[in-house]
Amino acid sequence: MNVPRPSLAVYLMADDDAPDLAEAAVQGGATVIELGIPYSDPLADGTTIQRAAQAALDRGITPARALEILREIDSRVDVPLVPMTYGAIVEGYGEEAFCRDAAAAGAEGLIVADVPPEESGRLRDAARDAGVDLIHLVAPTSRPERIRAAAEASEGFVYLVASVGVTGARESLDNRVAELVATTREAAGDTPVLGGFGVSRREHVRGLVAAGADGAIVGSAAIDAVERGGPEALEELVRDLAAGLSD
Amino acid sequence: MSDIDTRAEGTAADAYPPDALGRFGDFGGRFVPETVMAALDELEAAMAEAFADPDFHAERALMARDFIGRPTPLYLAERLTEDLGGARLWLKREDLAHTGAHKVNNALGQALIARRLGKRRIVAETGAGQHGVATATVCARFGLQAVVYMGEEDMRRQRPNVVRMRMLGAEVVPVTNGAGTLKDALNDAIRDWIANVEDTHYLIGTAAGPHPYPYLVRRLQAVIGEEARAQMLDRAGRLPDAVVACVGGGSNAIGIFHPFRDDAGTRLVGVEAGGDGGELHARSLGGGRVSILHGSRSFVLCDDDGQVVETHSISAGLDYPGVGPEHAALLASGRAEYIGASDEEALVAFDRLCHLEGIIPALESSHALVIAERIARDLGPSGDVLVGLSGRGDKDVDQIAARRGDA
């Protein structure tokens, strides 16, 4: 996966409107699209993404349907696509089949929020065989040796968790982010480092980039924008955040 | 009959540990967001240090005796035995433990470990409210802040325990997600823990969750089986033919089973909530598939895609779509068997124990009684059946009265 530097990744929930929203996000300056595949019990997610996931499930979005939506997005935008989901969904589908079908639908990377490196053996093999980059997470609470291991194991980009907690828009990011970025950046070599969890403002993006990150990931704030004003509001938010990359 | 094995000591509480990745066979592990991985490492280290420290054992033993009231009695249910005309039924009376259920054994041990970790804030989930009350109780005793997540539906059906938790100084947070039951309470308790992991200990109430929780909870609950095994040898002069306990997440069952694990002549029988006896139930082991829920791999009631499905049980404490990973391993190895008992069957067993023995059992424990009675009949008069009477039913009286139009 070739993630440009600097980059703004935008998370959308796999739902019928996701292809339109992906176009709007890319129009606004998104360089990566993360597509959430809804799971009934998303432990790493705050209320915004929980609600979006439940709404998608209520509309009958299965993992197979989510991959169809991914394929449609792939036909409409020209940025790397990264499904994000949970271990139960990938295992329910079967790791090999999931990675193969996701790759066929246009996925270049994969994030599984509750599968840390220790548990990712089969998934790693399946992703490698399918040519999908498995992206690991580092957090402010991670010890340096874990940060190094995750950064080295990550392909595509390293997902730097910029807030202690679940996903959700916040006023400010964790005050240790600069230090975490420095440690991760050093261990990641050529792999880009993108910070997410809590990112909702241009100054968050600016702060991450100033600390040495290669960009940011926006999820809950993007979903909030869609709920507020559809694709137009999303595009506006993304344009504002993307401006933070080069401030 | 199990005359072949009357070893004085049962299986040690720490025997059959999980592997380095926290797995019991194919089950267990750590399926959690990265943010809490460090906290799990710290907890694992603190657990090892605590169990190697004589002071920890001394304090735990003193509190078990003077605060919880251990050992709890082993009670021969003579009239129930006579009524059934089968094997002798022995009840391990966890209902007589302080706070009214076995949950306090685990809450006490984890509170002592939280103190060693320097964590002053405790977050917990509760279904029937017994674990919430136990958590609120030990937090009051040790001066810790308690935040208990409880589903709205459970708050309604187990209201007396909500009142008790608040009296003890705990904050009870209503959970409105999903069906508002135990699964949803776990989700929100874990999310709170992820957000506050640096000053907060997650005091899980059952033998589930990410490693090391299932092993830790088993070690803390094994006291039930250790006492019961010695009491059986003393009183009955033999080991029981079967040990029967209810299984939601599985903490009381693993606690009473484990010390009997090497006693080949003793059947280990877990009883899951059969709900309406048809499609609506909470039988993860009897009707689930292998998946990931709440941090570990085990049997889960989910659909083909891995989405967790709604469960039903009259008993809030058993109304859970997952189960502790060690039970999954015991099922897979054949060492334990898991059977369902329906809501209606549990209510019949509930009434029988009330009327014949003067004991009001928890609805959870009533499920164990259903199968224990069946096994006792099948065994005939020369047998012995040990039942984990995991809790008392005071919390259930309003719910049962309302159901019978007797409110």
pTM value is 0.97
pLDDT at B1: 43
The packing angle between helices B37-51 and B213-235, to 10°, is: 30
Say which residue the tokens 């598939």 belong to: B289
Q: Which of residues 194-213 of B touch A (CB under 8 A)?
A: 194-198
Q: Are strands A158-161 and A193-196 parallel, antiparallel or unpaired?
A: parallel
pLDDT at B2: 44
Measured between alpha carbons, how far is residue A85 from residues A135, A212, B252, B300, B304 in Å?
12, 27, 33, 18, 16
Burial class of residue B92 in the structure, from the number of CB atoms within 10 Å of its CB (0-12 exposed, 13-18 middle, 19+ buried): buried
Q: Measured between beta carbons, which residues in chain A are less than 8 angstroms from residue B35?
A: 139-141, 161, 164-165
Nearest to A83 by CA among A17, A32, A152: A32
CB distance from A164 to chain B under 8 Å?
yes
Domain boundaries, chain A: 7-133+200-243
Q: What are the structural domains, with CATH classification, of chain B? A: 23-65+103-213 (3.40.50.1100), 70-100+222-403 (3.40.50.1100)
Taking the CA of residue A174 and the nearest CA in chain B, the distance in Å comes to 11
Task: Please indicate whether residue B333 is annotated as part of the active site.
Answer: no
CB distance from A157 to chain B under 8 Å?
no
Other beta carbons within 10 angstroms of residue B351's beta carbon come to: 13
Q: Return the residue of B nearest to A168 by Cα.
A: B195
pLDDT at B283: 97
Cβ–Cβ below 8 Å for A88 and B302: yes
Task: Please indicate whether residue B125 is annotated as part of the active site.
Answer: yes
Tokens of A201: 């403002």
Side chain identity at B208, as an amino acid letter?
A: A
Query: Alpha-carbon dihedral of residues B371, B372, B374, B380, nearest 10 degrees?
Result: 160
**Residues counted in chain B:** 407
ipTM above 0.90, yes or no: yes
Q: Which of residues 69-88 of B touch A (CB under 8 A)?
A: none
d(CA B10, CA A239): 67
* Segments of chain B with pLDDT less than 50: 1-4
Kindly report the average pLDDT of chain A as a whole number.
96
Side chain identity at B98, as an amino acid letter?
A: H
| Residue A155 near residue A133, CB atoms below 8 Å | yes
Query: DSSP class of residue A38?
Result: P
Cα B329-B333-B339 angle, rounded to 5 deg:
75
d(CA A196, CA A44): 12
Alpha-carbon dihedral sign for residues B383, B388, B392, B395:
negative
Cβ–Cβ below 8 Å for B34 and A136: yes
The gap from C-alpha B221 to its chain's centroid, in whole angstroms, comes to: 8
Cβ–Cβ below 8 Å for A161 and B190: no
| Residue B38 near residue B195, CB atoms below 8 Å | no
pLDDT at B6: 58
CB distance from B310 to chain A under 8 Å?
no
Q: Measured between beta carbons, which residues in chain B are less than 8 angstroms from residue A142?
A: 34, 37-38
Q: Which helix (H) or strand (E) holds B272?
A: strand B267-275
Burial class of residue B159 in the structure, from the number of CB atoms within 10 Å of its CB (0-12 exposed, 13-18 middle, 19+ buried): middle
d(CA A143, CA A188): 15
CB distance from B308 to chain A under 8 Å?
yes
Cβ–Cβ below 8 Å for B30 and A142: no
Fold of A7-133+200-243: TIM Barrel (3.20.20)
A62 beta partners: none
Phi, psi of A55, deg, nearest 5:
-60, -40
Measured between alpha carbons, how far is residue B53 from residues A55, A72, B40, B48, B58 in Å?
50, 60, 20, 9, 9
Mean pLDDT of A59-83: 98
pLDDT at B3: 46
pLDDT at B4: 46
Q: Are strands A137-138 and A158-161 parallel, antiparallel or unpaired?
A: parallel
d(CA A160, CA A151): 9
Cβ–Cβ below 8 Å for A141 and B305: no
